[in-house]
Structures are given as C-alpha cells and as structure tokens.
Structure 1
Amino acid sequence: MIAWLGKMAWRDSRSHRRKLLLFTSSISIGIGALVGLSSLSSTLQEAMDQQAAALLGADMALTSRQPFTPATEALIDSLGGVQARQVAFNSMIYLPKTQSTRLAQIRALTGPFPFYGELKTAPAEAAQSFRTQPHALVDEALMLQFGAAVGDSIKIGDTVFLIGGRLLRIPGENALFSDIQPRVYIPMSYLDDTHLIQRGSRVTYTAFFRFAERDVQAIAKSIRPHTRGDRLRLETIESRKARLGRTLNNLYRFLNLGSFIALLLGGVGVASAIHTYTRQKLSTVAVLRSLGATARQTVLIYLIQAGGMGLVGSLIGALLGVGVLYLLPNVLADVLPLQVEPSFDFLAVLEGLGLGIGLSLLFAARPLLAIRKTSPLLTLRASFEDDQPADSGLLRWVLYVGIVLIIALFAYRLTDRWPLALGFVGGVGVAFALLTLTARSIIYGTRRFFPASWSYIWRQGLANLYRPNNQTTLLMLGLGLGTFLLSTLFLTQTNLLSHIKSVGSDQNPNVVLFDIQTDQRQELSDLIAGMDLPLLQQVPIVTMHVHSVKGQPARAILRDTTANRGRRGNWALRHEYRATYRDFLTETEEIVAGTWRSQPADDTLYVSLETGVASSLGVGVGDSLTFDVQGVPIDVVVGSLRQVNWQRIMPNFLAVFPPGILEAAPQSHVLVSRTATTEQMAALQRSTVHRFPNVSVIDLGSILSTVDTILDKVSLVVRFMAFFSVSVGLIVLVGVIASSRYQRIEESVLLKTLGASRRQVVAIMALEYLFLGAFAAATGVILSLGGVWALNRYLFEISFAPDYLPLILAFAAVSLLTVAVGMISSRGVHTSPPLEVLRSLG
C-alpha cells in the first residue's frame, strides 16, 4: 500500500514538479539560516574551548578600583606563580603631527602578559619591544582616524612616547572596544613620568597570574572570601568563559529566533501553495475516489508530496546553510572576541531536515483536510460546481493546537528557557496578527473607497489584488515583516542619534572637563573664559565607598552568600562612589521621596540618593548609611531620593551631600561648558592637553560618532535577519505568481481580445505588483512607527521624533523590488496568443 501511495504521489506530481520545487524553496531560506546558525554555535563553542585561556590571557586575574592594600599585596605575593601587572585609566592623548586629541584608555603594563594568546601588532615585534623603552602601542582605529603612522610621536600626560606599533587585536576583546574607547599600551616603568594618576582619578589595577600545574579553581575558591571583603574582582579562565558563553548564547538565541520566524513565514507560504495546488487537483481527487481510493489514501498521496517538498527544500536549505556559516563570522566579526574557523555540523543538517519536513507536513495538513470531503460526484458536477468542500472544524482546531505546540517546543529547543519560548510564541502570534490586521485593513479600505475616477489601467491594476488565489494578505505579511524589521532598525538608530544631538542643542552643555585638581580649577576656568566660552557648572567630586548599611558592615554583607541580592546589589556595595555637595537641584534631577536639604542639620547629616542605587542598597528615606571617605567614616541618613535624567550631558551623581560636610575631603573637580563650533572644541582640547595633561575632555561630537559607529555595526546583525524575511516574502510572491499563471494568461488574452494593447497589459501587470509592494511596505512602515514609539517611550525613555527619510527609502525599495521580481516572474504571460487559450477552453 505504501509503495502504491508513493508511486501515485510521484506520478501525480509529474506536470507540477517545477511548481512544487518553487513552493518548497520558501522554507529553504529559513532552514539554511537555522542550519548555518547551529553549525556556527558548534564552531563558536569549539573556538571558545580552544581559545579559553586567551580570553583572559592568564590563569587568574585580580582587579581593584583602588590601589592594592598591603593586605592584598601580601595575598598576591603568597599566591606565587608568574605574575604581571596592569594599570588602566582614561586620559587625553595628543598627536603632535596632526595636532589631534582624543580620549583613550591608557594601559600601563609590566610583566609577560598576556601569558596565553598574544597582542597582535604591526610590526609583530612591537608587542615585545615596547615594554623596555618609551614606546607605545596605539589602537589601529585611532591611528587611522588621525592619519598617524608607526614612528610618530604621541604625548600622554607629561611624557612623549614613540608609536612603536599598531595595536590590531587584544585577546578576549572585540573590535567594538576600539570604537568605544581606543586603547594605548605603555610600559609601566614610564607611568609615573606621565603624572596622570592624581587624586580623584578613576584607575583600575589588575594583577595577572599564571600557575604551572596548579588547580586554579581551588586557588580561586580559597581566596574568594578575601576578594569579597576587599572589593576585589576575581576572574579565572572558567569564569571568563562562562560570561562569554552567556553573551554568545543570547546572540545565538536572537539570531535563531529571527531565522525561525523566516522559517514559519515560509511554512505559511507552503500552506498557501498547497491550498492553491489542492484546489487545482480537486478533479483528480474526485477521479481517485471514483476508482475506489479512500479519503485517507488521497490525503496521504498529497501529504507524501508535501513531505517530498519539505525534504527537497531542506536539502537546498542545508546547502544554503554552508554559505550562511561562512558568511556569519564576517557579519559578526566586530562583536565576537574570538577568531572563528567555520566547521560544518552534520547534526545540525539532520535537525534541519527533520524540522523542514515536519513543518511542511504540519502546514500542508491544514489545506489537505478539505480534500477528505471530496465526493466522487465532483467529476460530474465540476462543470457547474467549483466550490472546495468544507473541512472538519474539530480536526482543524486539533491541528492548530498541534502546530502551536510544535512551534513552542522548537522555540524551547532554541532558547533553552520556557519563559522565552512561550514569550516568543506569543510575540510571533501578536506580530503576525498585527501584520495581518493591518494588511487586511489596508485592502478593505482600498476596496471600500475604490478610486472610481482613476483611469482604467490604474483601476484594473488595483482590482487585480482581489483576484481569486492571489494570496494578497500572505504576500503583504511576508514583505511587510521584512519592511517592519528594516524600518524599525533605521528609525531607532536615527531617533537615538537625533536625541543625542538635541541634548547638545541651544544652550545645553556639550563639553565636560574632568579630573581637575583643586589647584588647577581657577586657572582652567580662566582659560575657558579667555576663549569666550561660558562656564556653566563647577562641580566638586569626592570619592568614597559604602562602609555599612543600616549598621551592618558592607564587607559582612558581601561575605554573606545566603543573601539573594543579585549582581546589582553587590555592585552597589562594591562601587566607588563619586559624590558631590551643593545646595541646589539641577534641571536633570527631581525629588520623588523625602525632603531636599540644602544645608546640614545640627545633629544629623543627610544625603540624597539616586532612586536606582537606593533600591540596590535596599534603603529608603530615614535609613542610615556609613560612607568611607578615603579612610574617614561619615554617618549619614537618607534624606531624599532623586530621579535622575542620565541622558543629559551633565555631571549627575548617585549621592549628593549638602554643603558643610565634604569641603575638607580630598577632591577633584568637573567643569561644564559649551562650544559653538568644532573649531572652538578642537582649540579647547588642544589648549587643555598642553597646559593640563591630566585633565580629560569629553565632547558631544565624539559621543555622537561613537554611538553612530556602534549602532551601524550592531544593526548589521538585524539587517541580516531582515534579509531572510524579505527573501521569503519574495519567494512566496514568485510561487503565487506561478500558481496563478494560467489565470493571468486568461486575463491577458481577454484584455487583448477586448482591444487592449500589449503595452496596456504590461502596465496593468506592473501596477498590480506596485500596489502589492506599496501596500506591503505601508504595512511594515505603519507597524514600525508604533514599534519605535513603544521602544522610545518604555525602553529608551526619549521623545518620539521619527525621521521620515528612512521610511520613504524603505517604502520605495520594497515597492520597486516587488515590481521587479513580479515582472521577471511573469515574463511570457502577456505574449500568449489568444487562439491558444481559446482552443484550450474548447
């Protein structure tokens, strides 16, 4: 019986194999993406295992935000092994050749770090030669930005270094670091000569270790209690590997779910194709029933064809997956801290084949349910009865539930988390429902308010969207989803950039100078005034740590492993606070609880905390805190909580004291100003670096450039996923055109018989595709406006000010692409001679 069913499925497909192959290609892209991503996941895991040591560059690292205490130094000495030290901080660098300045991260290094992997430099020997002479390794991105070359001079603080080499790659760090903050390595022996580390400087001190044949995890476990109390961060190869693994898993989940959406869209395309195909096969089904075939056998014949479609489509997808595997490392190069050599995973191929066949059968089963009710009498009624029989309602809903369960199970397979899987299923359902609702609303509105005054060609092109079996809603769903992703991406990027620009508009500050020592404050203020620039704020900064919370020492809280504070709570206890004192609120702050106090009370010292850090510390108005102000404990009471707008280019603080408490404490200062032109900004930066090498300058222009670059690189991943959705939509379009080709030929012949010219027929066809693409693009654009509004309001908390140029470009691109694909797929339709069609009609 099975052999007979297979033969019948093969024979019945003879005249439609090319069309069936076209239908099945709609799932090939989704399968290709999933197979490629699964193989990439295996490749990344293998690369992470092989390069695990190079991710950290050492067996273990101890990091502190303050100089190591004598107790910590004794602990480090007792650990033994081969050691290296690094001191990292931010500072302005100056390139005399081009008179350029830039904020960079300076890393002073001593010892043979990295112990694993290598600093990749050009020339290669510079990675070692710079350690013993006044040479610097400068980030390649910074050198390209300012046209610097090896052998040029670079001034860091009070010391001039020779650029010994370009810094191409650092083990365990990705290329985005260069965009956010270029790195410059100098020898530790020349650090003091720069005079950059002063009171108030934010410095990170790290000790690296390599242990020969010792249990690193046991060593880490034995010293962990000391690290909690001394605010040390302990990292091992395993902990760095686990942290990177979490990041890569999140990226992998995102890409996989995006590919799965494209696959589901392709599955919907298969269902649509089978629906149209079975309508054309009703007479064949009736003949089979007349010859004695049961309803079950007829359904199985076409299920076998659907399974064959899934198999062929999945095989094509597996081949595409090879291309995806070799393409993705290039797409993700800037966000991956690993060097990846792609290797194909055959288990991923088998999984892709099973998923492709399974989804093809699932989505094909729904339209095939109807042919179970096909009567043998249809062979006699076919001349006057063309309606497809109704399917069983109960069985249909059972099938729907099965589809949802299968999707949920596979989503769990991709995410390994039920909340994410169920959220994905719900999100996809809502997204598809919104896209469908929007598409049908546009179609209904067009039909309801049909433009009767248009010329015949335009009216006919628009009316063709309602042709039977045209699947207009499905096409708008596929093309609209891709447009939605692209439009949302571009709108989000332009909104963020425009918001940052608006922050520096009018009289808002756009430049901040920090790490200013007390004896430099007046001289720097005079410099700003001498350049006719406004001095908008002068802010003192005092560094401190939390000593105790509600009478309980912070070290004891950190050592208590039974408390469930989470990472944020631990961070708030370990954080080096940069607090200030003043008697006023700034325009970026708002009191949400308690009372703002502009002067100290007689018997109680009050502090105002930012709402987020108060929540992390678990304190509210009236609770007690003790701050360690550089060795001096200060007992305070939380007097108020502030909501802070961190998006403004203004000095904002987690803790603000009233005047009269911190004036005698060691402190640094921040000055805030505004420049009207880039020339003024450059002049201020050059003058500051020359006269005050330890002072750093941040300007809005560099922030804009950095954000733009990062968004461009990250958005490449999203554009890659949008490509799949648009591609599936276009393939479904080609399939629908192929399935309705005969109807289009009949329509073309009829128009010619009635006197239409070939040019008019082609114009009607082109307008049909133009309207289809325009409606699909409108669907995506409308939803993207709503999506970006929600993102701005609830995630970024910025105003919604859309830039309509990306929307116009996306609208035009999708519309024209649809016309191009449609016309190419329809070539030959308008050239069919009328007599040929008339003869076929008898």
Structure 2
Amino acid sequence: MASIILGIAAVVSIQLFSSNLKDNIQSQSKTLMGADYIIDSRQLPTERAQAIIDSLKPDASEVNFVSMIAFPKNGGTKLVKVQGMKGDFPFYGKINTEPSSASNSYQQSGGALVDATLMLQFNMKPGDSIKIGQLTLPIAGALKSMPGNSAVSSSVAPPVVIPYRFVESTELLQFGSRKEYQYFYKVSDTFNLERLEAKIEPALDLENADLDTHTSTTERLGKRYDNVGKFLNLAAFIALLLGCIGIASSVHIYIKEKLKAIAILKCMGASRLQSFLIFLIQIAGIGIVGGAIGSLIGVALQTVFPYLLKDFLPFTLEITISAQPILIGIFLGLFMSVLFALLPLLRTWYVSPLDVLRVDENGSQEPRNVRFLVFGIILVFLFLFSLWLLKDPLYALGFVGATVITFTLLAAVALGFIKTIKRFFPKHWSFTARQSLLNLFRPNNQTVVLVVAIGLGTFLISTLYFTKDILLAKTEVGQTTENANIIILDVQPDQKDAVAESITSKNLAVLNNMPLVTMRMESLNGRLVNEIRQDTTRQIKGWLLNHEFRTTYRDSLIASEELMAGEWVPYIKPGEPIVISISDNLANDSQLTVGDAVVFNVQGVLMETTVGSIRKVDWSQIQLNFTIVFPTGVLEDAPQFNVFTTMVPDEVSSAALQQDLVSKFPNVSIIDLRQIFTLVEDILDKVSWVINFMAFFSIFTGIIVLIGSVRTSKYQRIKESVLLRTLGAKNKQILQISAFEYLFLGLLGSLVGLLLALVSSLCLALFVFKEPFIPSGIPFLIFMPGITLLVLIIGLSNIQTVLRSSPLEVLRRES
C-alpha cells in the first residue's frame, strides 16, 4: 500500500503542476508580453526596417539600455536597465506601482519609475531624485511589476522606466552602447499573427530586426521549463517504478505462502477462476485505495512546487484542481498493482490439489510462454508510461532498457551466488553460519526475489543520487582572489588612462584592459550573408547572420580557453593575411573549419580573414569570453571601446570605486559580479532544493519498498525458526542464523545495485549531460551499509514473535 501511495503521489503532484504551468503560460501569454506582437532591433532601425515598422503603425515604443544610475541623496550607484517608454504600454496587464497613480502620470509629470526593491535597498522614496548620465529626474513611484520584465533579469539589472523624450538628454547612447529598440502593437482577436509573422519576418531579418508574437513567446516559455519538468518526471517515474517493484516482490512472497491454502480450496471444489479472483480482487482493492490516497497526497504536494519555483516564473502561478489527475492516479494504482502482481497471481491458476501433499514448490509453476507474455505486457506498460512522462521515445526506450538489463543482471548475480554457495559450501563453518547459508538455496528460499528487490531499489536510489550530483556540479559558482569581480564596460578610447588611474588610486589592480570592436559577418566562404539568409536549405544557424559580434584582439589564450584545432597566431605583421580564432560553438553553427574564409564588415570597412584556429570555450565561467579573437597588429586603429576588470576585496571598496567612476564617467556601466554571484547562488540553491526534494522523495519511496519486501518475507522463516527452537536451538542461535542470512542478502543486493548505478551514472554523465563524472562517496559510505543494516534490522524484527513465545503458541498464531 505504501509503495502504491508514494509512487502515485509523485506522479500526480508533478503532472498536475506541469499541467497548471502550461495552462498559465497559455492563458497569460499576452499579459507576459503586454502586447500582441513586438518588433525589436539591437540597433537604430535601418531605413527599410523603419518603413516596415511605420507601415504597421506601432501603438507604443521603447528604447532600453543598461547603464549606471546615481542616487544624489546618499551617493549610491547601481547598474540598471533604463527603459524609455512612449505610448500607452502595456495593452494587456498593467504596470503595478506604489502609489498606483504613478503608472499613469509619470509620462506627463516627467518622473521615473524605479524598481521597488532598489528603492528599499537605497532607502529612496517618491519625490527623491536619480541621476541617469547627464539627466536628473524625480522618482514618480516604486515599480513593483511590469509586463515583459522577469524576476531574474530584474535582479541583475533592475528596471528604471522614464519617458522616451528624455533619453537623448542622458547622453548615454554613444558608440558601442548596448541598446534595443522595441515597437509594440495591439491587434484584434481575429488578426492572423501567423500569417503576419510568415510575411514580415524574412524582410525584417534582412534588416537585422526581429518580430515576436505572444504565441511564439508562449512556446519559448514552455521550452524554458522543459528541463525542470523532465527531471521531475524522471524522479516521479523512478518513484512509481520502485512502487511497482514493491508490489511485485510483496505479492510474490505473499502468494507463495498461500499456495497450500489455494490447493486446499481446489480440493474442496474451487475452480481455477475462483481461486484466481479471490486474490485478484484483493490486490485490485488495495490498488484502488492506494491510488486514491496517493492522488489526494499528490494534489496537496503539488502546491509546494509554485512556491519553490516562484523566482523562475514571470507570473504568479494560479493552481486549479481538476478531477482528471485524481482519476488517473486511481487508474494507475489499480493498473500497476494488478499488472505487477499478475505474474505471482498466475501461480494460483496452476496450483494443483496435490500440492497439499507436495513439498516442492516448483510443482505449481506457470508455463514459460505465459510468463513471457506477462513480462511483455509489463515492458509495454513501462515504455508507454515513460513515454507519456518523458515525451521522448529514445529516452523512454533507453530507461526501460537499462531497467531490464539491471533486473536481468541482478537475477543472474543472485542465481550465480546460489550456485557458488552450493558448489563451495563451507562445511567447516559453525552451525549458525552454515544454517544461514543453507537458507539461501533451500526450498522456499527468497534469495532471488530479495536480491532483485534490494538491488534494483539500491540501483535506482543511487542512480538518482549520482544524477543529482552531476546536475548540481554544473551549477557550482565560485570566485577566487585571482578572478575579477568588477567589470567596467563602455570605456571610450579617450577615457582609458583616466579610468585606469581611478582604479589604481584606490590600491586596486587593473586585471584586464580589453579592447572591444563591433562587427558583422559580410560573407562566409565566398557566399554573401544576404544570400545565405534567403537560402531555405542552409545549415548555417540564423542567429549569426544578424548578429553584431563584439570581438577583441590579444596575443595569448586565457584560462577558460583550450585550443581544439589549428594553430594560435599571436601577432600579424602589416600586409600579412589576417588569421582569426573562433569558438567551437561558432564553428558548429557557422559550419566553418580551419582554413575557411570569412569577410567582416567593421564599421563599414570590409576585412578579409581566414580561420586559423578553433577554441573550446568554457562559457560557464563568469568572465569575459569571446566567440571571435583577432591577433594583435590588426584592429588597433579600428573604432573601439574598452572593458576593464578589477578585483575588490569587500562591499565598501566596491561602493567607493563605483561612486568615483560614475561621477567622473557617467557613460560607463559597471557590473558588480559579487551581486551576480550572490543572485546566481541563491537561484541555484533553489534549483538544488527542488532536485534534492525529488531525489530524496524517490529515495524515501525506495526505502519503504525495501522495508515492505523484507517484511513480507518473515512468513517463510517463522516455521523454520519454530522447528529449530523445538529441536533445541537457543534464541541466540536463531538470531545469528537470521542475522547472517539477511546480512548476506542486504550486502549482496546493495553492492551489486550500487556498482550498476555507478556504470549507469557514468553513461549518463558522458552521453547525456556531457560532463565529467566524479562519484560521490555518500552511496558507498551511507547507502550500502545503511540499506544492509536496514535489511538486517527488519529481518531480525521478523522473528521476534518466535523468540518471545512458545513454539506451539507461534504456530497457532500464524495459522
């Protein structure tokens, strides 16, 4: 019952949460965007793009850019996202401010809406002023939420909304500034957005602009949460599979104890169908009750997920409870209990009345073809169910295949162990040790059933734990004294020396002074980018055809880079062919390799280059990495700006440096990586919590299954223990016999399961996650001895009635 309840609870809670998430994204897609569709451009729209934008008559527009702002009241500074708004945006949803009137009045009053958390952080209130570049504005109100802004992006660069007419006065949109122009549109419900996108998108692509509809935003949001859902579904599937193992092992042992009772019923005239239905109805009843209880727990459990994932969701998740998941849970409880109990239940069909007199249990074995048919049905069920959960036939097939291989290996190990014990039986061991070993291969032995149950449980638990470690290893964030934690962007050429002096004057080191040159690809291997863009059969990814690359030049590789192919060229003399180095992801997306020709448009000047090397770049490191790196001696005279990095020891030093730089150079942007480290670690802590929660939920299910499997085995040992006691065995000897038997079973099952989990986790790390696998010592130090000890304790508790009572009293009670 516990196995069914926990498995169903996991499936129902996760499926209900996923369904609610999908429905919320679908219903709130317009509210999330604030418009029906948006046209955006990372640069001032070209003449052709502007003509298209104007012909569609935008209802509102925005230019946004990242910049530092200052708070004159207390001298504070902060990196923010400045949004210059024009028009009545949003068309769906609303800008939530304090006071509420500020969202309607800020355009007329000429004030700014400042992120509410930012105002609390710097102790600001409406009426105080902020300085954005050369512009000083009063704060009209605190901005609590706004369509189009997510919680995560707002944490890195909080939004500050100002009227569009003031953007030019800030004097911040200079050469190299990162900016985005957006145009918002509202249409009637009958308007065909798909046709508009199909017609306009290609023309906008040619002008380096993009069109986004609320429906495409819905699809992207759905994909964004796919990986979280897949892991949760995998954990639920493992919990359910553990429940199925618990059902199969429990019913197997239970039916074996009832074989003589069934034989007696048949002697008294009961038909095969009657004896079969007696136990089938019993198991089905348990399945229905267990499914109902599990579904109700699942409904209660799934309300936890919105709380855990609220920082990842750009909207408040509304939970609706429908009857469907509860009905699915009850059906699953019934179906999985009957299906996985079917194989042992079939033995009731083939029990002969003569089995009352027979000692050999093999007399009531079902035909092999019937057994294989049931196995086939079980495999089909597992595949279809895993396909329903994982939505990927290859993953589903791989997971079911791995489970079957594991099951087969565990059964083979158990049978091999039995044969080895028989062949090399230690005849000179003590009586208690010999007796416990004999129990492993005598009639009514439980070696194969328990080794498979214990081993498969340990395998799934350990695999889930190792997988959790692989996932969490990818989310580690750290910083050392050698790493920069302050990045200063958009430093103009005439400001380089002054910025460097400001840094060194505060006893800080300039770790990097990197030049950045912006450029676009003009042609690849002789084919113009415009020609490639119009080729519907192209294999080159579309993003790089419109992308404005920020490149640098230097004479050496950095710590996050590794040369994969070609030869690194540190310096080019005047007149020599220009050789560049590209990142591995750019090489894959552009179908470029060493020796290929690329022509760049550098601020209107065409530059012919050749790919000289390909680098593997570790993008997970929070530092400045580049897809394209030029050698020195090429771009020194090109229009450029610089990026400085330094390392500050504490918050006070960081604040002092930022205040000094913003007051002297209002155009520069400063990223404090210490804040980003804190934010990322906080997010990853929540991710870790979700992963750990589901992992340990399944582990807990596995432990319940193991307890049930070992607990139901007690009936096979009670009569033997009573007989031994009748023959004069002492309580101590009976305890030792049982202890040795369960110790062998627990150790063998957990050890084999753990070794198989090690192999499967290595395969997952190499082929699925593509990450190095460093196995944790926890499963070896805790799971293996812990599961062995658990099996031992339950096994010893099974015979407590024998030790506390007289043999006759025990036999009467058990009968």
Query: TM-score normalised by the shorter chain: which range applies?
Result: 0.7 to 0.9
After superposition, give the CA deviation of every residue in 1:190-233 in whole Å (9 maximum; x if it has no partner): 33344333211222221111135662524333322221101212
CA distance in 2, matches of 1:89, 1:555: 28
**Greater Cα offset, 820-829 or 167-176:** 820-829
SS where residue 536 of structure 2 aligns?
A: coil
Alpha-carbon distance, 1:648 to partner: 4.4
Q: Does structure 1 retain, via aligned residues, the 8 Å contact 2:468–2:695?
A: no
Task: Tell me the alpha carbon deviations over residues 96-146 of structure 1, each in whole angstroms, 9 at most, x when there is no partner.
Answer: 677665544333323222211123344433433444456544445556666
Provide the alpha-carbon RMSD of the alignment.
Answer: 4.8
Write out per-residue CA displacement over residues 139-192 of structure 1, whole angstroms, 9 at most, x where no aligned residue. Answer: 455566667666666554444555554444343555443455544433333333
Is 1:716 the equivalent of 2:689?
yes
Please say if 1:471 is aligned against 2:447. Answer: no
Could you tell me which amino acid in structure 1 is paired with residue 329 of structure 2? G
Structure-2 residue corresponding to 1:16: none
Are positions 1:613 and 2:586 aligned together? Answer: yes
Counterpart position of 2:625: 652
Output the CA distance in 2 between the equivalents of 1:426 and 1:168.
Answer: 50
Q: How far did 1:259 drift?
A: 1.8
Is 1:326–2:303 an aligned residue pair?
A: yes
Paired position in structure 1 for 2:6: 29
CA distance in 2, matches of 1:170, 1:462: 71
Is 1:379 paired with 2:351?
no
Moved more, 615-624 or 518-527: 615-624
Give yes or no for the alignment of 1:53 onto 2:30.
yes
Match of 1:706 among 676, 679, 685: 679
Give the aligned partner of residue 605 of structure 2: 632
- Structure 2 counterparts to residues 302-321 of structure 1, below 5 A: 302-321=279-298
Cα distance 1:235–1:179, how it changes in 2: closer, same or farther (>3 A)?
same
Q: Tell me if the contact between 1:513 and 1:672 (Cα under 8 Å) persists in the aligned partners.
A: yes
Equivalent residue number for residue 546 of structure 2: 574
Deviation, structure 1 residue 364? 0.9
CA drift of 1:837 comes to: 2.2
Return the alpha-carbon distance in structure 1 between the equivalents of residues 422 and 635 of structure 2: 73
- Which residue of the partner structure matches residue 186 of structure 2? 210
2:172 to 188, 196, 203: 196
- Residue 472 of structure 2 corresponds to 493
Aligned-partner SS, 2:612: strand
Q: Residue 112 and residue 44 in structure 1: after superposition, are their counterparts in 2 closer, same or farther (change >3 A)?
A: same
Structure 1's 690 and 789: CA in aligned 2 closer, same or farther, altered over 3 A? farther
What is the rounded CA distance, in whole Å, between the counterparts of 1:459 and 1:71 in structure 2?
91
1:628 is paired with a residue whose SS is strand
Q: Could you tell me how far apart the structure 2 residues matched to 1:358 and 1:533 are?
A: 68
Partner of 1:481: 460
Aligned partner (choices 88, 91, 115) of residue 112 of structure 1: 88
Matched-pair contact (CA < 8 Å) for 1:521–1:669: yes
The answer for the alignment partner of 2:66 in structure 1 is: 90
1:241 alignment partner, one of 218, 224, 236: 218
Please report how far the alpha carbon of residue 574 of structure 1 lies from its aligned counterpart in structure 2 after TM superposition.
1.5
Do 2:553 and 2:630's aligned partners in 1 also have CA atoms closer than 8 Å? yes
Query: 8 Å contact 2:86–2:163 — kept in the other structure?
Result: yes
Question: Residue 332 of structure 1: CA displacement?
Answer: 3.4
Contact 1:32 1:319 in 2 (8 A): yes
Superposed displacement of residue 468, structure 1: 5.8
Q: Secondary structure at the match of 1:88?
A: strand
* Most deviating of 504-513 and 662-671: 504-513
Question: Aligned with 1:471: secondary structure?
Answer: helix
Give the conservation status (yes or no) of the 8 Å contact 1:773–1:814: no
Taking structure 1 as reference, are residues 167 and 254 closer, same or farther at Cα in structure 2, changes over 3 Å only? Answer: farther
| Residue pair 2:45, 2:209 contacting (<8 A) in 1 also | no
Query: Residues 93 and 125 from structure 1, CA distance in 2 versus in 1: closer, same or farther, beyond 3 angstroms?
Result: same
Counterpart-to-counterpart distance in 2, 1:634 and 1:324: 60
Say if 1:386 and 1:763 are closer, same or farther in 2 by CA, change over 3 A. Answer: closer
CA contact (8 A) 2:38 2:182 kept: yes
Establish whether residue 423 from structure 1 lines up as the match of residue 423 from structure 2: no
Report what 1:18 is aligned to. none
Which stretch of structure 1 is more off in the superposition, 613-622 or 539-548?
613-622
| Amino acid of the structure 2 residue aligned with 1:581 | Y
TM-score (normalizing by structure 1): 0.81
Aligned to 1:277: 254
CA contact (8 A) 1:286 1:378 kept: yes
Distance 2:65 2:751 in 1: 49
Aligned-pair identity (%): 38
Q: From the superposition, tell whether residues 705 and 443 of structure 1 become closer, same or farther in structure 2 (CA, over 3 Å).
A: farther
Inter-partner Cα distance in structure 2 for 1:241 and 1:264 = 33
State the distance in 1 between where 2:50 and 2:224 align: 33
Is 236-245 or 121-130 further displaced after alignment?
A: 121-130
Tell me the TM-score normalized by structure 2: 0.83
Q: How far apart in 2 are the matches of 1:107 and 1:769? A: 68
**Which residue number corresponds to residue 177 of structure 1?**
153
Match of 2:43 in 1: 66
Secondary structure of 1:377's aligned partner: helix
Q: Classify the secondary structure of the residue corresponding to 2:6.
A: helix
Shift, 1:421, TM fit: 2.9
Q: 1:639-678 residue pairs with structure 2 within 5 A?
A: 639-676=612-649
Give the Cα–Cα distance (whole angstroms) in 1 for the partners of residues 146 and 404 of structure 2. Answer: 43
Q: Which residue of 2 aligns with 1:527?
A: 502
Which whole-Å CA distance do the structure 2 matches of 1:683 and 1:788 have between them?
Answer: 48
Q: Distance in 1 between matches of 2:797 and 2:62?
A: 63
Q: How does 1:404-803 map to 2 (within 5 A)?
A: 404-429=379-404, 469=446, 471=450, 474-475=453-454, 477-478=456-457, 481-482=460-461, 484-486=463-465, 488-489=467-468, 492-493=471-472, 496-497=475-476, 500-501=477-478, 504-505=479-480, 507-565=482-540, 569-597=541-569, 598-600=571-573, 602=575, 604-676=577-649, 679-736=652-709, 739-740=712-713
In the alignment, structure 1 residue 220 sits paired with structure 2 residue 197: yes
Q: Which amino acid aligns with 2:233?
A: N
- Determine if contact 2:299/2:321 at 8 Å carries over to the other structure: yes
Counterpart contact for 1:774–1:811, Cα < 8 Å? no
Q: Which residue of 2 aligns with 1:9?
A: none
Contact 2:67 2:79 in 1 (8 A): yes
Post-superposition shift, 1:691? 2.8
Q: Aligned-pair distance for 1:67?
A: 1.5
Asked whether the equivalents of residues 135 and 162 of structure 1 are also in contact (C-alpha less than 8 Å), the reply is yes
Compute the displacement of 1:27 (Å): 1.7
Taking the aligned partners of 1:518 and 1:445, their CA distance within structure 2 comes to 80
Q: CA, structure 1 residues 650+386, in 2 after alignment: closer, same or farther (shift >3 Å)?
A: closer
Structure 1 portions without partners, runs of 5+:
1-21, 449-455
For structure 1, which segment, 167-176 or 626-635, has the greater mean C-alpha deviation from structure 2 after superposition?
167-176
1:599 partner amino acid: I
1:734-793 CA-to-partner distances (Å, cap 9, x unmatched) read 534653466788899999998879xx9999999999999999998898788777777777
**TM-superposed deviation, 1:72:** 2.0
Q: Which residue identity lines up with residue 638 of structure 1 in the other structure?
A: V
